[in-house]
Amino acid sequence: MNTARLLLDPRRRVAPVPRRLFGSFVEHLGRCVYGGIYEPDHPTADADGFRGDVLALVRELGITTVRYPGGNFVSSYRWEDGVGPVDKRPARLDLAWHSLETNAFGLDEFMRWVGKAGVDPIMAVNLGTRGTAEAVDLLEYANHRGGSHLADKRRDNGAVDPYGIRLWCLGNEMDGPWQVGQRSATEYGRLAAQTAKAMRRFDSDLELVACGSSYLGMPTFGSWERDVLTEAYDDVDLISLHAYYQPVDDDLPSFLASAEDMDTYIDAVTAIADSVGAIRRSTRKIMIAFDEWNVWYQSAAPSTPPSGEDWPVAPPLLEDHYSVADAVVVGGLLISLLRHSDRVTAACQAQLVNVIAPIMTEPGGSAWRQTIFHPFARTARHARGAVLDVLRDSSTTTTDRYGVVDAVDAVSTWDDSTGEMTVFLVNRVLDTPAEVTVDVAGAQVGGIIECVTVGGADLDARNTADGPDHAEPRTNDTARGSGASVQLTLPQASWTMLRLRATDVTP
């Protein structure tokens, strides 16, 4: 029998839900920009060339921030190429993805797009082939009101008001041998600290992200974070984590438990950052920006860039078509991020459109939601208020990669303003439903608002242009109960959202 009992108490709070946890990522890679968010000849395109159907889906997805312009792309990017009259912008070879970058879309277009999407920008600077001077130039162009050369150039280009970008990434994956301008940890840490100091001379209230390891399995993981923060601890606010997941050797049980890896990764980097702070006797806490995460089938053919003399414009790359199983894993990763909201204060699912994305498009044609769209959109919409410290007593399941793990994973949020308690759950067991009891302390459940599930059957099902709704969430009518307890059944291998109407009864 697969069972779990959860204890929720509005008095046991981890942290407020960070709204920047529901960020996304737009890189000049494949068809993410060209043919994704930007397609001037599309029937739904507006005067700026932005696809209206994509903008509608982006708003429905509920993202709060977008990181731009990379990713690997940023490490050889000249931001000046993407501003000014479009017909005068140079085409450049993109060394990261072996493509031709036309620069028809750049910073000014991106800022107009985020304004229409209703989201905040996160800007990455090139610390691969460039350095402090170019980062400060970009900051001046973007954020200075006027009266300087670069700020006046922005105004001449049509943006009279400064962009006011608050969160900046100091490079990208600088430990990676695939990165243009790879550096050692000490070398990068000193450059990041130097750049941060210079940027803060312009605006001391900027939030700055240092590059952590590219993934947990990097040979230098741990020592990289320690050495970077030894150099830059007092100058940055966050350190980045990146992680992508896919089934290995058809090991679906381990894949469904991918959040175990994310938990370990976050806990390890938190401990390393705090150890550096303790040695420095610092009262500051370095937070975490999990600014790249998703399911990504990296060994699949769509992830292989062009080569040789072939430098195409916006070739189809990394266009994974996600299954229901992938959606369950994404729901589990969101649970992990919420669980660590006391330290993970920003996160970006990579990426937004076409490239390992929740939204897919056809050139000149339709746009549709991939399976992973649904758990993200529901979590972004209903994870409000404070994250609760959920006490779990669950059956276990055995995985090849992570050993014995809880069969049911869960997190909960509580919104004081609406009296809504929301529980997000994953049943990681492939062949057995889970009977779950939710006990509530310090509050009384007045009723069930909604209970929906993704998964449980046909884990290989995928949404397509012709069948865009094959894997939509369905009503889970097993939820029952009120007062101090609610029961529900989770289908095998599924993600579920349970929304409860509750009243705080604590004195």
Burial code (b: 16+ CB inside 10 Å, e: under 16) for 59-95 equals eebbbbbbbbbbbbbbbbbebbbbbbeeeebeebebb
Alpha-carbon distance of 136 to 140, in angstroms, equals 6
Other CB atoms closer than 10 Å to residue 406's CB: what's the count? 17
173 is catalytic: yes
Alpha-carbon distance of 160 to 178, in angstroms, equals 38
Alpha-carbon distance of 291 to 64, in angstroms, equals 13
Given the residues 39, 101, 134, 173, select the one marked as catalytic: 173
Other CB atoms closer than 10 Å to residue 134's CB: what's the count? 18
Given the residues 140, 225, 292, 319, select the one marked as catalytic: 292
292 is catalytic: yes
Task: Locate 478 and state its tokens.
Answer: 């097993």
Q: What angle do CA 10, 476, 326 make, to 5 degrees?
A: 90
Alpha-carbon distance of 266 to 368, in angstroms, equals 32
Those residues whose C-beta lies under 8 Å from the C-beta of residue 214, and which sit 6 or more positions away, are 173, 175, 176, 242
Contact criterion met (CB below 8 Å) for 369 and 324: no
- Reported residue count of the chain is 507
Which residues are identified as catalytic? 173, 292
